[in-house]
Structure 1
Amino acid sequence: MARLLVLGGTEIANRFVAAVREAHPELEVILSLAGRTRDPRLPDCETRSGGFGGVEGLSAYLKAEGITALVDATHPYAAQISANAAAAAKAASAPCLHLVRPEWVAGPDDVWHVAESNEAAARHLEVLSAAEPRKVFLSIGRQELAPYKALGNCSFVVRSVEPPEEGDLSSGAELILARGPFSEADEIAFLKDRRIDLIVSKNSGGTATYGKIAAARALGLPVVMVERPALPGGDVAGTVETAISWLSGIS
């Protein structure tokens, strides 16, 4: 039986697995998770949790388990995992697809300050808060908070699914543990209630967290948008439907 390994942990990965099971019931699907999120939302399929041990470990797994194809459907900012997936698939002579939802695009009423990294985003905040203190909504997850700790003229509201490591939060920061989706109306109320002046966001794409971007537009708030890292070479799909077509072409 043909076997498909999906590197997941995202909403689009779950939708892809469900679509594969319907379109290709003959395929055995294995969903791999990093294991960093407690009680993740999972589709009905075989799962594994934890890392592989870099490129060599993943390549060895692909060969040992007889994996027919690899689909990298991890978060758009999981650059190292995507690079490892591409290299391991090449080493194992297995086709590899990167399934990543399209980026958000700024409209005429959006006020975005685009930054190539969190370090660059922190420098943007330093400039934007030079004249007066700013209250900032950090919506970048829990693992990349360090660049913002030294900004003395900013106070922070941090929202993430899991709590950050002790010491990663800035002194006095408000931590909110929540999982999307978040509607535009709820985000408007959230931003008003906490008197947010600025938002820092990753360009994650999709609909689950787009509410904050729409809310910022409605309230006229600036957004410091952290750009995605470049994907490694290989096939790329922006939708589940395109990924299913790719899978049909190699099976």
Structure 2
Amino acid sequence: MLKPFFLYVFLLCCLSVKASIGHQLPLFLSKPLGLNPRVEALAFMYPAQAPLIFDAGNEANAYTDQFFGVGAQSQNDNSSNAFRHSLWNALAVKKLKDAGANDATANDIVQQFTSAYEYNDAGTALVKTAASAMDLHNNLVGRSFKNYTTVNQLLDSLFLKSIEPKVITSTLSQILASHNADVNTAWDLLENTDSSGLNVSKFLVRIDPCTVSLALNHTITDTVKFEVSTNIQAQNILSPSAKVTYDAQNYVLLNPGFKADQGSTFSAYVDGCGNK
């Protein structure tokens, strides 16, 4: 961890010295994902691991656009954001382990980096908002996905966790309370827990209940309603036990491959979030 504080200050000083004597920043810092000085300090502390973590972030962004529509990687507080954060952490841990790190080391380094993104612009303090609590919780859930065998298996698992009804709409107080501790301890656990060692809900959480768009390719067997603010594109199968509603503000598009099996119940509305 970048604790105690003097270690963090030392790393920032090293960063300043490197810049002042003409050393170039590593190439991966020239195209940051939104770096603050705390992330930069970690990049110098872990020069071999940082590019892998940044690569995992870029991959998570691309997959988020693939599953939730172009531009979804820039959305906050909703299901696509929950998917992106959890996927980033899962991919990053796997990349570090593939590069030779053991499980504990990989989780620890990824935790340090992804938690650092929730700090203020100066990199000196954790931003304690509902959005940060959501991101930290979903990071933690993502790091618990250690044993998947293929990326597609991981994508399917986290996508299903990130869309209704698998994702929980929560307030800041509810996210903190789910960690079974007082407020200050809950923040510390959210920021500093390496992986799934903490006994918390493995559900992803969101603040905004309205997803922007969805591309549905998975068989649905349950009772579920999807509400989005733009469009739903579906080429999935509804099993006989499914009771499904697609509700989109602009349109619902049933592509080749969509099938509602006999016995299922299916409804579609052009209505959007929070109305019907």
TM-score (structure 2 length as normaliser): 0.27
Greater strand fraction, Structure 1 or Structure 2:
1
Greater helix fraction, Structure 1 or Structure 2:
2
TM-score (structure 1 length as normaliser): 0.28
